[in-house]
Structure 1
């Protein structure tokens, strides 16, 4: 089934899967990373569950029942959880970023073998390296603007974007800074006394990358 032929029932089913996956992911994160504290409040848990369900539905519309769908569903659920953690704790935990990179690579490798699309997998590896080095250089130049967590996150995002194409890598990387800049300006205006370095950049990176995945063919 192609993306254009994805049936409403399939989309609804994966949306429900996202709704159920979110609390499971939060429970696993709480258990494996106790330093983050206990489970978030019921309001936050409901918000993340709805956000994950919406992302699962949109990604299903985008990819259909294709070999690449599981990899991008993983991106969706971890994007929501890492954004939540970054907003609350100003932290992108290494284990979660590493999970996104390694598990995502495994799922993309499986997709490349089934399609087959080995050139896409090589492009994914190159995209990860390119986006990581780009963020690393900017992080070293302006350490107050980017944290090392943001730099590390650039690698899996570059991988996911690279698997789809070079256009996605370019726009995903560029828009990450644009969205981050807009979010920083808004938060500085809404919260007096906050410093630019205190604005989490991870959610902006995820928003830009997933937006490009969904909208740029």
Structure 2
């Protein structure tokens, strides 16, 4: 991280942490169909804190405020979806939405919208392929956390 300011190094660290946590959560969700609170919640709090410190060091709190609002907004959307169809999303997905929302919100509203949408498009595409291949049916539970995380990274690539 040579040549980077302290705030930029903190943002880079936050991204690296989101990558590592994301990979762990993808593995756990695929294998166990759960997103452990002991990983998701501290990660959301830690990411929010890191980004707030980076914003304060840069003298511009707007990205940190947008990140916090992004986390609350995406979590609220997932909470509404879970309330409307409890079998469709798990509580871990709702909590992961806060983490993903903070991460994408830091980058802007467009990455947040694209990342949120990408999760559903990628998840649906995967489910369709699995059904066409005869490996899943209408009642098959498919881990959604991986698509939320992959969708977040995809959003950063295309926005």
TM-score, normalising length from structure 2?
Answer: 0.88
Contact 1:144 1:197 in 2 (8 A): no
Q: Unaligned regions of 5+ residues in structure 2, if any?
A: none
- Per-residue deviation, residues 153-203 of structure 1 (Å, max 9, x unmatched): 100110111111111111111111111111121223335355555100000
- Alignment CA distance shift 1:197-1:145 (3 Å): farther
Tell me by how many angstroms 1:82 deviates. 0.3
- Corresponding residue for residue 87 of structure 1: 30
Tell me by how many angstroms 1:69 deviates. 0.7
The match for 1:130 among 40, 48, 73 is: 73
Tell me by how many angstroms 1:210 deviates. 1.2
Superposition misfits of 4+ residues, deviation over 6 angstroms: none
- Corresponding residue for residue 112 of structure 1: 55
Contact 1:145 1:196 in 2 (8 A): no
- Per-residue deviation, residues 73-93 of structure 1 (Å, max 9, x unmatched): 110000000000000000100
How many equivalent residue pairs?
155
**Relative contact order, higher structure (CA 8 A, sep 6+):** 2
Q: Which has the larger radius of gyration?
A: 1
- Per-residue deviation, residues 119-157 of structure 1 (Å, max 9, x unmatched): 111111110111001111111112222111111110011
Cα distance in 2 for partners of 1:91, 1:66 equals 32
- Corresponding residue for residue 204 of structure 1: 147
The answer to whether the aligner puts 1:140 opposite 2:83 as a matched pair is yes
- Corresponding residue for residue 71 of structure 1: 14
- Alignment CA distance shift 1:117-1:213 (3 Å): farther
Alignment of 1:141-156 (within 5 A): 141-156=84-99
Cα distance in 2 for partners of 1:200, 1:213 equals 22
Contact 2:67 2:102 in 1 (8 A): yes
Contact 1:176 1:209 in 2 (8 A): yes
The answer to whether the aligner puts 1:162 opposite 2:105 as a matched pair is yes
The answer to whether the aligner puts 1:99 opposite 2:42 as a matched pair is yes
Cα distance in 1 for partners of 2:126, 2:155 equals 18
| Cα RMSD for the two superposed structures | 2.0
